[in-house]
Structure 1
Amino acid sequence: MQCGTRATSVKVGSASATKKVAGSRKAVVMCPGLYQGNHQRVSVSSRGGVLSSWASGGRREVGVRAVIQDGAKLDRPLRVAIIGGGPAGACAAEECAKNGCETYMIERKMDNCKPCGGAIPLCMIDEFDLPPEIIDRQVNRMKMISPSNREVDIGSTLKPNEYIGMTRREVLDDYLRQRAEKYGTNVINGLFMGMEQKEGEKGPWTLSINNYGEGATSKGDKAREKMELEVDVVVGADGATSRVAKIIDAGDYDYAIAYQERIRIDQERMKFYENLAEMYVGDDVSPDFYGWVFPKYDHVGVGTGTVINKPAIKQYQDAIRDRAGDKITGGKIIKIEAHPIPEHPRPKRIEGRVALVGDAAGYVTKCSGEGIYFAAKSGRMCGEAIAQRSNQGQRMIGERDLRVYLNKWDRKYWPTYKVLDILQKVFYRSNAAREAFVEMCQSEYVQRMTFDSYLYKTVVPGNPINDIKLLFGTIASILRANALRVTNGPSVTFGERKEA
């Protein structure tokens, strides 16, 4: 062994692996029984020694359990665990890893295909440096389709270089995870089971993980090996049903059920959707949301969602297929996806040395149901706060430090969430209101305001005169739609609406 190096053994059940450490450089250890495939692996950082003992049910040999006060200087890097490997988790991990923190990201399913429209704003592509191959389609035309099937084309105000990016989540998420790993994140393919602070609120968090190791069958089953991981800070990026949120008693929120079918249609029909997305509104496709047909690489995503009548979600899905009609006729369903989507931020998003980001925090907008950008942005902002407040991983941080991220987030995005919440309450409450909403979308002023706000993630200040005209026009549209509803009979609906 060369001068200045040392060997460290890491126990994993009955398996062991040896790594060489030179100075403060990081060595990647391929541990037998811990991984398989390209992304199922564990990287063990050498900075400050071995973080944990991964023995089945056992305690680690060399303890680091110690009560460390907030702000104290560390003799090893700050240890951060990110639970979840979606856009929120991957972006948080990237920021922590490239700024001196010893970072671990736990993701249970590396090929996850979330039921998601997959639309991302133009600003995200530049801001997160996404390569062209991540974008399946560049959508610069949209159709808003009312309950009476009145169509309004949207997109005339877009500049030639402006578009909405359409992605597949399994492609986007994998890219962001791999990039985080390149910056030094230790990726663990496993299921997060729980965590506890054995030394009190200023002590480390001990995470319990079912690691997916060797032994996968042809059906995709995976052998599980229990492991423990001790860290200083935990970031919960584990989705709407977050276990991290439950552990810190973050409170409940309303959630929608999103349901999507990936449908492969013939080339001629696919050409129709080359740069076009459709949004359908009406009680038939959703009592409180909208249905969509979004183009992907070689198929379309057709889906809907609801908060107030979850048991009827498949009926709403049948309705959106019927509304799309001949445009998707003869298509083959290649995948069906369903998942809960939060409706508003949780009552608590920070507790001690634990922070929530993305869906776990409830960062999905009402009215539009957008969450990808806000997930990635919240993860990055949280990671930046951890890195900055810990002085690049050199000192311990606490709740006050994590609240730097939260306060910055609320100042920047609270107006966006509030405006979209109001829009949903006004325009998604009846078919008459939805007809008025679609009619309102004909206005170039509305289109320009909407796209500018969406593409660049800012609440764009309006022109007072045009705003007054818009207000009176909207009231007139609602009155006309209500009159038509009385004349033509009740709104189209089915099933019994139930509260979430």
Structure 2
Amino acid sequence: MPSLTNMGLAVSAAALSSAHAFVIPAEPRSLRGIQTEASGASAPSSSASGFRAGPAVAVGAVAGLAAAGVAKTRRGHALAKGQKASVRPGATNRSLSSARVVVCANAPLEGRKLRVAVVGGGPAGASTADSLAQAGIETYLIERKLDNCKPCGGAIPLCMIDEFDLPRDIVDRQVRKMTMISPTNKEVQIGQTLKDDEFIGMVRREVLDDFLRQRAKSNGATLINGLFVGMTMPQSKGEPYVLTYNDYDGEEGTARKGEKKTLEVDVVVGADGANSRVAKDIEAGDYEYAIAFQERMRIPENKMDYYKDRAEMYVGEDVSPDFYAWVFPKCDHVAVGTGTVVDKKGIKKYQQGIRDRAAVRIDGGNIIRVEAHPIPEHPRPWRVKDRAILVGDAAGYVTKCSGEGIYFAAKSGRMCAETIAKNSQNGVRMIDEADLMEHIREWDSKYGPTYLVLDLLQKVFYTSDAARESFVELCEEEYVQKVTFDSYLYKTVQGNDPMGDLKLGWKTLSSLYKFNNQKTPDPMRTLA
């Protein structure tokens, strides 16, 4: 899904700055524990009828904790909703005193390199395999669908192009204008703070994914076109995983059965999406998920010109009860889609809603492709078991509220691979669960607060059309736009102006009050 609502980071953190001043934590706590409490039954919530004070305090408090660095010691595994903090079933409780006896490194591998299988060839899997192969590790990348087209807005931040050394021509459109459209069809134009060389890249997933896979192959990874079926877990230290898969090499068409094959490896990286088979095999637990639905439409040339460097984001109960809908430009067509968690069965109704809202601008378009896919809503309860680890969507690394996943998938894969390479000394030593947990801690420390703030932001602004009207109005603020784009494009928290934060905080609360205490006019469902 698209990435436009990173605007919320600026709105929530700045707007609720006054609440931060009154947060006095008793003691440092795990970020995951705070997240569980915030989403549990005891947490304050906003009702369907409008905004209440509870969510504002919750967002302000938790954002304040994150900003102050209170949650410095984060657990490596996210807690499931309502789950108590515990050690993974079957694991041994370890004390600090017992940890001091574990001082020897893992044994060297004699006559061979560390063998790693990466299951799933999207941005997470391909980036993992590429970094592993470049480190000299024996790497296998298993992907069942080499023309993968996940229903995704396809927005990538500017920093990803350089960070992942992507060719500029992989970007279909350079978006410099955004139109946010409220439930009553109020339009707010976003993008005036962008510099001449700044833009959000729009890509087609089949193009991006193929490029990343082929680069991993050229750097030494073995690319297997096959369906991962399952794996036999090791029964003792150092014993290999035995993966079973259906090899599709040389077969064409949709009715392929494949040749059953097995593969022995030392480490398994699950990058196989929301329906991860690897996650099931390591008993990583379930998570809540959204359904994303998208239609690619080829519209008349004169209408396509409007979307030359523009993207649109629509909010409203008619297009999604808990997310938003989008019209994003691609090379010669637009992607029109929506998503929802709370009413998955109603996804086609909401898709019709975005068609109706955008009718004037997409009228005469022909649908050339229909895509649907589950999108994770929070991290898995467990992301590591022994020498198997999850990355990308399989781990649950899609941001709440914005639904951004491409950059975080690729980043998690690369960070995971770098940890494996470092702790195996570029593949000459075996690694264990403690080595993989190092990546989880690093990931949670770096990106945990972002996920937490966006999760709570969704509870504040995506609960009613009145709150959505307020959110769109706030996006008119130049300060919000600047902080948002600076943070999104470069994936670093930019230095905020304290006075700007306070002013925005007051305006946010005033706007929420205004829209929740006035009769919302009947929305006009056509655009002039």
Give TM-score, length-normalised by structure 1: 0.82
Of 76, 89, 98, which residue of structure 1 is paired with 2:125? Answer: 89
Please point out which of 485, 503, 512 is paired with 1:451: 485
Q: CA deviation at 1:464?
A: 1.6
CA distance in structure 2 between the aligned counterparts of 1:298 and 1:171, rounded to whole angstroms: 14
For 2:99, the equivalent position in structure 1 comes to: none
Identity of counterpart residues, as a percentage? Answer: 63
Q: 1:344 aligns with which of 349, 373, 378?
A: 378
Give, in whole Å, the separation in 2 of the partners of 1:348 and 1:247.
Answer: 12
Which residue is 2:187 aligned to? 151
Residue pairs, 1:98-497, within 5 angstroms: 98-200=134-236, 202-216=238-252, 219-484=253-518, 486=519, 488=521
> How big is each residue's C-alpha offset from its partner over 1:322-355, in whole Å with a ceiling of 9 and x where there is no partner?
1111100000000000000001111111111011
1:54-82 residue CA offsets vs partner (Å, 9 max, x unmatched): xxxxxxxxxxxxxxx97100011000000
Query: Which stretch of the first structure deviates more once superposed, 190-199 or 107-116?
Result: 190-199
Q: Given that residues 184 and 522 in structure 2 are in contact (C-alpha distance below 8 angstroms), is that contact kept between their aligned partners in structure 1?
A: no
Q: Supply the distance in 1 between the matched residues of 2:511 and 2:129 (Cα, whole angstroms).
A: 48
C-alpha distance in structure 1 between counterparts of 2:178 and 2:237, whole Å = 51
Are the counterparts in 2 of residues 97 and 184 from structure 1 also a CA contact under 8 Å? yes
Shift of 1:359: 0.1
Equivalent AA in structure 2 for residue 159 of structure 1: K
Match of 2:16 in 1: none
1:286 is displaced (CA, Å) by 0.2
Shift of 1:483: 2.4
| Larger proportion of strand | 1
Q: Conserved in 2, the CA contact under 8 Å of 1:213 and 1:223?
A: no
What secondary structure sits across from 2:369 in the alignment?
strand
Structure 1, unpaired ranges of 5+: 1-68, 493-500
**CA deviation string 1:434-470 (max 9, x = no partner):** 0000000000000011111111112334222111111
Q: Residue type of the partner of 2:233?
A: Q
Counterpart of 2:384, as a letter, is I
- Distance in 2 separating the partners of 1:84 and 1:141: 34
**Could you report, residue by residue, the CA deviation over 1:89-142 in whole angstroms, capped at 9, with x for unpaired residues?**
000001111111100000000001110000000000010010012100000110
Is structure 2 residue 108 aligned with structure 1 residue 73?
A: yes
Q: Give the match's secondary structure for 1:420.
A: helix
| Unmatched segments (≥5 aa) in structure 2 | 1-103
Structure whose alpha-carbon radius of gyration is higher = 1
Return the offset for 1:200: 3.1
Shift of 1:215: 4.5
Q: Distance in 1 between matches of 2:166 and 2:176?
A: 19
Q: Contact 2:185–2:523 at 8 Å: present in 1 too?
A: no
Rounded Cα–Cα distance in structure 2 between residues aligned with 1:440 and 1:466: 13
Distance between the aligned counterparts of 1:250 and 1:70, measured in 2? 27
What residue in structure 2 maps to residue 27 of structure 1?
Answer: none
Deviation of 1:197 after TM superposition, in Å, equals: 2.3
Using a 3 Å threshold, how does the CA distance of structure 1 residues 489 and 402 change in structure 2: closer, same or farther? same
Closer, same or farther: CA 260–201 of 1 in aligned 2, 3 Å? farther
Amino acid at match of 2:302: E
Does the CA contact (< 8 Å) of 1:213 and 1:222 recur in 2? no
Query: Residues 134 and 220 of structure 2 are in contact (CA less than 8 Å); yes or no, is this contact kept in structure 1?
Result: yes
Structure 1 residue 248: Cα displacement: 1.0
Q: Secondary structure at the match of 1:316?
A: helix
Check conservation: 2:286, 2:380, Cα contact below 8 A: yes
Q: CA deviation at 1:226?
A: 0.3
Give the total of aligned pairs: 421
User: What's the CA shift for 1:490?
Assistant: 11
Provide the rounded CA distance (Å) in 1 between the counterparts of 2:161 and 2:389.
26
Q: CA deviation at 1:423?
A: 1.5
Q: Shift in Å at residue 487 of structure 1?
A: 5.7
Q: Deviations over 1:20-67 (max 9, x none)?
A: xxxxxxxxxxxxxxxxxxxxxxxxxxxxxxxxxxxxxxxxxxxxxxxx
> 1:125 is aligned with what amino acid?
I
- TM-aligned CA deviation for residue 408 of structure 1: 1.2
CA distance in 1, matches of 2:235, 2:441: 29
- Residues 184, 521 of structure 2: 8 Å contact kept: no
Cα offset, 1:196, TM superposition: 1.1
Partner in structure 2 of residue 29 of structure 1 = none
Q: List, as ranges, runs of 4+ consecutive aligned residues in structure 1 with deviation greater than 4 Å.
A: 487-492
- Contact 2:318 / 2:350 at 8 angstroms: preserved in 1? yes
